[in-house]
Each structure stands twice: as C-alpha cells, then as structure tokens.
A and B are shown apart, each in its own frame.
Chain A
Amino acid sequence: MTSRTGTGTGTGTGTGTGRPDLDEVERAVRAVPDPEIPVITIDDLGVVREVERVDTPEGPGLRVTITPTYSGCPAMRVMEEDVVAAGRRAGVPVEVVTRLSPAWTTDWMSERGREQLLRFGIAPPTGQRAHGPVPVGLSVRQVACPRCGSTDTEEVARFGSTACKALRRCLACREPFDEFKTL
C-alpha cells in the first residue's frame, strides 16, 4: 500500500559545484525530528524505511518511503512535509511514499533513539505489551523511571499525551512520566 505526498521541487542552491550532494540530503532527511518528540529523529524512530535515488523532471532527487507509527498519528503528516522541506532547502526534489505493510513496530527504534527518549524523560518501549490490570507471572513487565531509575512505577493511564505513549508515575521519586508504548 502506498500513497504519495507531493513532490517538493527544489529552488534552493546546491553546494559547491552547484550540484547538491544527495548523500548529504539523505542525511538531512533522516535527521528530520519527530514533531511531537523533537529529541528523536524519524530515522531513529524507525519510520524511514527506504531512501532511493530517483530521476525526476527537476533533476536527480530522492524517494523516501516511510511507515506510519499509528494509523491516526497526526504527526505523520508533519513528518512528510518536513521531509519534503529538507529536500527543498538543499534544492533537491523529494517524494514521500507511505508504506503500511509491514506494520511499524517499536522494535524498529534504534538504540540511540531509545537513549534519547530516556534522556528526554520518556521511558523507552520495554518490548512487552501492557496487558491486563496487574502484571502477573514470571515475566513482570518493568518500566524504569527515566528520572531516578527506580522500577517501582505504576501505570496511570494507558493512553497518554500522544497516540504512542502511556502515562505512568514513579512511586520512589513521585514524578509522573510518559512511557513509549510497545507496539
């Protein structure tokens, strides 16, 4: 499944030789931050699936394939526009293609992305889905407080400030915090 978001045609000036360096543009595209969690890039979030070199009527450009985190995440649209804008700044046409399958999973989030979330005060995904009221059995799902590190934390609400987060509180330092939900 694919859908396309408008091509951004470049009018900016390239670097040095006058021809933009596509590797550099690709790095800029991958470095676009998540609009709601600006400490993580869309690359580290695992949203960027592929960046291809393509020939367009405006010259060499990029086709960026992304996979949405949640079906209804309003940030996806902003990410698409930011990707196109990153190309435009470098004078390179960028086309964004949305691919739904395989579905995005928090397993695609990079180690660096997880660390950045933690430093920002958001507990990274644990790899285990929250289910039921109380964790029982041998595999207790532990979520550490991003501030004090204590695992003595509890869920306040499974649906938090954005589609991808749950709200928790730390029982040791008493601070509330967001948890990036495992999907």
Chain B
Amino acid sequence: MTGLHTAYLLGLGDDALIYAQRLGEWLTHAPQIEEDMALGNVGLDLLGQARALLTRAGEVEGADPPRDEDALAMLRDEREFRNVQLVEQPRGDFAHEMARLLWFSTYQAELYARLVDSADETLAGVARKAVKEVDYHRDHATQWVLRLGDGTEESHARMQAALEAVQPYVAELGEDHDAARWAADQGIGVLPSTLVEPVTTAVHDVLARATLTVPDAPRWHARGGREGLHSEAMGYLLAEMQHIARSHPGATW
C-alpha cells in the first residue's frame, strides 16, 4: 500500500509547502517589519517540515527514477498536490492571515502531537521536531487574534470578517480520506476527524477570549484538496513557485 502511504505523506508535506509559499509573500508586505520576520520565520519552519516530509514521501514511493524533495515540489502539476485548499488561498489582509494561521497551527499542533508516536519512524522524527515549532506559530496567531479582536472597533470588525471568510475552508482539515484512513489503521497517521473536537475547542476558546463570535456554519465548504482538486488560486501559486525550477531544469548554484 505504498500508494496510500505516499499520498498521506504528500498531504502533510504539501500543506506545509504551500502554506510556506503563501507566508513568504508577506515579506515586505506585513504591517510592521517584525511581522515580515515573524511570518517569514513561520514559513521557514514549514518549509523545513515540507522538505523532510517530501523527502520521506519520495522514499516510500520508490519511483524509478526516484523523486526527491525538489522533484516533488517543483515538477508535479496541480492535480498531484494533496494540500487542503485553506493553505492555497491568496493572502487577504493581516487579520485574514492570523485567522488562517490560528486554525492551521492549532490543527498542526494537535496533529503533530499525535504523530510523534507514528509507526513510520521518519514521520515520528519530523513530528517530534515540528511539534515544538508549531507551538510558537500557534502562540503568535493567538496573541494577534486576541489583540485585534479585543482591540479597537475597526480591528474587531476586520478580525471578525476574516474569521467568516476563512470558515468555509476549515472543515476540510478534519475530513477523512482514503490515505488517512489507511495510515490511521496502520498506526502511521491520524484520522483527521478525530482532530476536529480538540482543534475546534481550542480555537473557539481563543475567539471567546478575543470577544469574537464563532461564525455560523458556512453554507458551503471547500473539499477535494487531498484528492488533488484545488481552487483557482492554486494554479497561479504553482506557476510562481515552480517557474524557475522548470525554466532551468537541474540548475544548481
């Protein structure tokens, strides 16, 4: 079942890779230079996780010739990427990014905390390292959501609007799929639906402290990322991320 094992690892690695790409866009665009650095650093942690996860995915896949982290990141097409649609969405304003980071880092924190016992020793190693990093990401998002939600009328309204905008992309984080079901069965992975309760509780707790309102259940929600179905934003993101590697195949410097 190396196909499902690979697919599970790609889901984890692609979430980290694609969100790292989005976070990198904040450099020179954040409201203050400290946030340029903070979001850049969060992205860098995720990129490091992605490298280890994609390398492992390539090993498990065992293709001939083998695909390394670069081949997987730069030479796959949109339909082969298995990230959730939350991470590929264009960055909105700073409140949008904090809403997304709060959900995503809380999800990653709960996920990695359980993956430290994965039967895939390499994956467990990545998780033991990453669990400490994402704790910093989560704390950072929490501080900003509290500050903006419990801030001025303007910041409160924009933070609330950001939560509403992100909400349709949240459910996909907790949606089970074939690769995750298989991986959970083998003790390699975690069934996403088992993360919904702890993640939701933790995020809602922050929202309450920030005097924000939990958005109503959205009328639709994104789905399909784990099967390679993506939103319009994904093609543009990949075009930017991959164009140098594809224009100069095999280039090194």
**Which residues does A use to contact B, with CB under 8 Å?**
1, 3, 68, 70-74, 99-105, 129-133, 156-161, 163, 167, 181, 183
B47 touches A100 (CB 8 A): no
Least Cβ–Cβ distance between A165 and chain B, in angstroms: 9
Encode contact with A along B16-59: 1 for CB under 8 Å, 0 otherwise: 00001000000000000011011011111111110110011000
Count of chain A to chain B residue pairs whose CB atoms are closer than 8 Å in the complex: 87
**Is B136 an interface residue when CB atoms closer than 8 A count as contact?**
yes
In the complex, given contacts A100-B129, A160-B37, what are 17 additional A-B residue pairs having Cβ atoms less than 8 angstroms apart? Answer: A70-B45, A70-B48, A70-B133, A71-B49, A71-B133, A72-B46, A72-B48, A101-B124, A129-B135, A133-B146, A156-B34, A157-B38, A158-B38, A158-B139, A158-B140, A159-B38, A163-B45
Bound complex: CA of A112 vs CA of B55, how far in Å?
35
Complex alpha-carbon distance, A100 and B49, angstroms: 11
B194 within 8 Å of A (CB atoms): no
Contacts of A132 in B (CB 8 A): 139, 143
Which of A101, A157, A183 is the one whose CB lies under 8 Å from B125? A101
How far, in whole Å, are A167 and B135 apart by their CA atoms in the complex?
Answer: 18
Assuming A71-B48, A71-B49, is B41 touching A159 (CB within 8 A)? yes
How long is the Cα–Cα vector from A105 to B126 in the complex, in angstroms?
Answer: 14
Q: Which residues of B contact A1 (CB under 8 A)?
A: 52, 56, 121-122, 125-126
**B122–A167 contact, CB under 8 A?**
no
Q: A133-B146, A158-B140 are in contact. Are A72 and B44 (CB under 8 A)?
A: yes
Q: Is B128 touching A102 in the complex (CB atoms < 8 A)?
A: yes
**B136 CB contact (under 8 Å) in A105, A156, A158:** A158
Which residues 99-139 in B have Cβ within 8 Å of A in the complex?
121-122, 124-126, 128-130, 132-133, 135-136, 139
Closest 8 CB pairs of A and B: A71-B48, A72-B48, A101-B125, A100-B125, A157-B34, A159-B38, A72-B44, A1-B125
Contact A163 B129 (CB under 8 A): no
Give chain A residues whose Cβ lies under 8 Å from the Cβ of B38. Answer: 157-159
- Whole-angstrom distance between the Cβ of B4 and the nearest chain A Cβ: 20
Q: A131 and B139: CB pair below 8 A?
A: yes
